[in-house]
Amino acid sequence: MQSQTDSYHTFTYTDSELDLSAKENYALDICLATNRISFTLFNANRVLGFRYINTNINILEANASQLLSLVNALEWYSSSYKNIRVFIDNETFSMIPEALFDVTQAGTYLNLVHKKLPDLQVLHSALPKNQSVCVFSLSQYCYAAINSILGTPLIMHQSMVLLQTAAEFNESDLKQHLLVYVSNSFIAVLQYHQNEIKFLNTYHVDADTDTVYFILSVAEQLKLQADKFGIYVMGDISSTSATMGLLKKYIPNVQTINRVDGIQYPLSFREFQEQQHYLAIHTLLCE
């Protein structure tokens, strides 16, 4: 469902039993991407609401005034929720084995993989199930805005949801498959097998052909059988898009990912494809 609020187009999908007068019964997860902010409401293994706004503002560089305007436009925010978390969806992150992680070297880990930029806040969060620590960064302006407006919530990286998604698969399903997360400006490619991260990297993309090129390069690097390997795709991609057409042309087995069994979703989620908004509506996997 789409509505207009103060020049923003707001997309809303809710369960018929969502009761916003009882916010204390729900957890709120807020996902911040380059040009999108979304709210997901859930309780235990049930998602009861999802709402998002697309904007021309780079939210990950937003100041307090800009972020407050977007939060107010989504209307659902309140300090009354039983838990509030913020997930950052950007390509500036790195996974470190928990046994090797030194908090004083967090910035160094990140700079080994990503270009060092000024005015960045380096953060980290642990993944006990994967024995890994995610180190990531965002602008200091955005970090200050989050804490000012949202009351110092737990800040995590959306790649953690990607790893938890991988953990939901059967071992046999991932033996010759890569997980591919498609954002509006980058892709993340993950090889996950036997409860371990075998490969994880991000690639900036400017064209549909970039996506295909990087995936094929990873498959070659990992020595996956050219005639047998496949990918599970999720994120900002339609099953009828030009990018999907190219993927199916050059990759033997391309599948869009299905939502997780055992989680209850609103019937209104039928209005978008299962792979779309995937990480944002599955943040509860990181509970």
| Residues carrying CATH 3.30.420.250, the chain | 1-167+261-274+283-287
Please tell me the distance from the alpha carbon of residue 59 to that of residue 70, in angstroms, as a whole number. Answer: 9
pLDDT in the model for residue 5: 47
Classify domain 169-256 by CATH number.
3.30.420.260
Per-residue pLDDT of the chain (287 residues; tens, 9 = 90+): 555 444 578 999 999 999 999 999 999 999 999 999 999 999 999 999 999 999 998 999 999 999 999 999 999 999 999 999 999 999 999 999 999 999 999 999 998 888 877 889 999 998 777 788 999 999 999 999 999 999 999 999 999 999 999 999 988 889 899 999 999 899 999 999 888 899 999 999 999 999 999 999 999 999 998 888 999 999 999 999 999 999 999 999 999 999 999 999 999 999 999 999 999 999 999 98
Fold of 1-167+261-274+283-287: Nucleotidyltransferase; domain 5 (3.30.420)
pLDDT in the model for residue 7: 59
**Which positions ≥6 away from 33 have C-beta within 8 Å?**
59, 60, 89, 90, 158, 183, 184
| Residues carrying CATH 3.30.420.260, the chain | 169-256
pLDDT in the model for residue 4: 46
pLDDT in the model for residue 158: 96
Burial class (CB in 10 A: 0-12, 13-18, 19+), 118: exposed
pLDDT in the model for residue 6: 47
